[in-house]
Amino acid sequence: MVVRRRPQRGHRYTESPVLELALQGWRSRMVGLLLMAALFALIIRAFYLQVIQNDFLQEKGDSRYRRDIEVSASRGRIVDRHGDMLAVSTPMQSIWAIPADARTMTATQKQQLAGMLEMTARELDGRIAADKNFVYLRRQVSPESGERIAALKLPGIHQEKEYRRFYPAGDMTAHIVGFTGVDDKGLEGVELAFQQSLLGRPGNRTVIRDRRGNIVEDVGAMRPPQDGKDIRLALDSKIQYLAYSQLKATVDAHRAKAGGAVVIDARSGEILALANWPAYNPNNRQNLSGAPLRNRAITDAFEPGSVLKPFIAALALEQGKLTINTPIHTEPGRMTLNGATITDPYPHGVLTVAGVIQKSSNIGSAKIALGFSPREMWELYDKLGFGQTPSLGFPGEIGGRLRPWKSWRPIEQATMSYGHGISVSLIQLARAYTVFANDGEVMPLSLLQVDEMPVRGERVFSPQTVRETRLMLEMVVQPGGTAPRARVAGYRVGGKSGTAYKIEDGAYARKYVASFVGVAPISDPRLVIAVMIDEPSLGHYGGDVAGPAFSRIAAGALRSLGVPLDAPLQLAAADSGKEPL
């Protein structure tokens, strides 16, 4: 048996002196030191990144997945008193391009895009040849064509959501509603007057987006968008349509230059209708400027003429100097004051105070007016709001001209009694007539719907005076008055016609402003309606030109408001058929 034995010779393996690791102390310390130094460097670096550079790096990281997005808010709507839309914003797409990228499009792509944008390929080339970083190709295209353009995935073509304002009622309410510019800024009318409340405030939020662009988380604070407030106007779009279409027909029929019509609710002072002609279509405002833009009823003052006479008569009644039946001598139909002569178109002889109004005698009203001191008359006109802006908050509203009473001479006092030498806007005139439509208070006007009833105004006349004056106003539209054509079938109405010469270059020209301001119905007034026709060339008397327009507007408005008839039906039968709408 063989017994293996360990070789006895030599040393054991581990004890071999050759293999004895004679590691010198400095080398091991060196390695240890290097390792420590490396570790230390790492710690420093980590400290540097985590603490000192932290904000910068966090920002860089966030920018990879965090996005601030704007949440758009829409502009408030404008609606009428029944909630009918007058102005609405709806989103549209704006197509813009980065020209440098867009130039890489192929010819067919360009052709396609140009077709969709309704421009020629040359125009498109022209746009993207610009040396800019950003160029609008077309603003406010419909969302559908926006989607179709997006589907083409053209290089360098981008879209942006924008709101566009639409005006469903179009030219009918153009002057009162106004319009906005392309960037949601109100430029005219209510759009401008109520810009602050209509304007929405966009919100924003910070989100995390994933690789596919989906929003996966809201982070940080979020500001919700604030949509603009809706504005509810006092306007009644039915009456507005009536006023607008009748005004237009009247201006056409008399070949006039322009016209205005205002309908006011006698109880609340709300403006139910305000129409002007010429008008414009607010949905298509290309090449728009000048005359059609003017909101004449509010921004233009004119010499009103005889429509002021009832105020003079009412003041005389109020002072108790005269009664409705006091005779006034108007013969021979002319009168000279301070070297100037005033005349009546027809001599009337002796008239009662009521007759002066019914026949519209200038001499008669001048004689009544000369019984007042200038100050009394000025105070009357001032209380009625002449010479003061009506403070509707409407852009460009005008106060007209009422000179201080200290400078009045008798001739001026006389002419002012029949509406010359003083200028007012149509809306001021309509407002002044509200004194005859309630028991003697001049009502504050309102563009917006009035919730608080009853509305109180400033008292000018006593209820008794007003009742008597209303009877005089009614006589104007009766046979023998100046405006029989202003009658309304089935209703008692009253008003006063005005035929004023226009001033051109400082002198009165043979051009007229025909007007009629009336109250309906007389027994319990609900409406004040003022119609003004500028420079009619077929006929020029207020009663013949503006009277019929008043009649038709009043008839339609009273019916649409459901006001009960207050006249015997015989009159209705007698009038029917004569003036079909």
Partner 1 sequence: MLRFNMSLLLILVVCALALVTSQHRARKLFQELEQDQERARQFEVEYGQLQLEMSTWATHARIEKIARDRLRMIQPDAAGRPLALKTAGGR
Q: Active-site residue numbers? A: 306
Among residues 261 and 489, whose Cβ is nearest to partner 1?
Answer: 489
CA distance 443 to 432: 8
CA distance 499 to 342: 15
CB 496 within 8 A of CB 473: yes
Among residues 75 and 496, whose Cβ is nearest to partner 1?
Answer: 75
3-state secondary structure (DSSP) of residue 110: helix
Q: Determine the Cα angle at 81 with ends 80 and 87, to 5°.
A: 15
Among residues 118 and 210, whose Cβ is nearest to partner 1?
Answer: 210
For residue 226, the minimal CB distance to partner 1 (Å) is: 15
- SS3 breakdown of the chain: % helix, strand, coil, rounded to 5? 40, 25, 40
Q: Which pair of tokens denotes residue 292?
A: 């059609």
For residue 490, the minimal CB distance to partner 1 (Å) is: 3
3-state secondary structure (DSSP) of residue 482: coil
Among residues 486 and 513, whose Cβ is nearest to partner 1?
Answer: 486
Residue 376 burial (CB count, 10 A) = 13
Question: Per DSSP, what are the bridge partners of residue 518?
Answer: 495, 529
For residue 106, the minimal CB distance to partner 1 (Å) is: 33
3-state secondary structure (DSSP) of residue 517: strand
- 32: phi then psi, degrees, rounded to nearest 5: -55, -45
Residues ≥6 apart with Cβ < 8 Å to 131: 99
Among residues 71 and 100, whose Cβ is nearest to partner 1?
Answer: 71
Among residues 17 and 577, whose Cβ is nearest to partner 1?
Answer: 577
3-state secondary structure (DSSP) of residue 370: coil
For residue 577, the minimal CB distance to partner 1 (Å) is: 6
DSSP state string for 209-237 = E-TTS-EEEEEEEEE--BPPPPEEBS--H
Residues in the chain, total: 581
For residue 62, the minimal CB distance to partner 1 (Å) is: 17
Among residues 86 and 256, whose Cβ is nearest to partner 1?
Answer: 86
Sites of contact with partner 1 (CB under 8 A): 84-85, 88-91, 143, 166, 168-170, 172, 210, 214-218, 237-238, 241, 245, 488-491, 555, 559, 565, 569, 572-573, 575-577, 580-581
Q: Which pair of tokens denotes residue 412?
A: 């001026």
- 264: phi then psi, degrees, rounded to nearest 5: -120, 140
Q: Which pair of tokens denotes residue 151?
A: 């589907």
Q: Which pair of tokens denotes residue 559?
A: 């019916």
For residue 241, the minimal CB distance to partner 1 (Å) is: 4
Question: Per DSSP, what are the bridge partners of residue 533?
Answer: 259, 514
For residue 403, the minimal CB distance to partner 1 (Å) is: 43
